Amino acid sequence: MNDFGRFMNEFNTSMQQMVQTMNQMQGLYKSFSQLSPMWKGLYEMFQAQEQQLPTEQVRLSRTKGRQKVHHKSNGIKTSRRYSR
């Protein structure tokens, strides 16, 4: 009977922790769902600004930092970011 009591105590503790975790997850979901429209608005704003730029600037802004640089000394290609 003592083992059953201990089992029930541990079970109740585990259930309380699970409910607490679910409540925290629900709070996080609400926070993210409130942020979602803001991020969508920012994305649309940046997209509209990008459409106003000349085509060459758009291409450069998308490839900046991803250009490959060839080092003559060792023949290794690395990202431009790390070659400075």
Tokens of 55: 């085509």
pLDDT band (50, 70, 90) for residue 84: very low
Q: Which residue has the tokens 């704003």?
A: 45
- Show me where the domains of the chain are located: 1-38
Percent of residues in the chain assigned helix, strand, coil, to nearest 5 = 75, 5, 15
d(CA 84, CA 66): 13
pLDDT reading at 24 higher than 70: yes
d(CA 22, CA 44): 33
Residues 6 or more apart whose Cβ sits within 8 Å of residue 70 = 77
pLDDT tens, position by position, 27-46: 999 888 888 888 888 999 98
* pLDDT score, position 68: 55
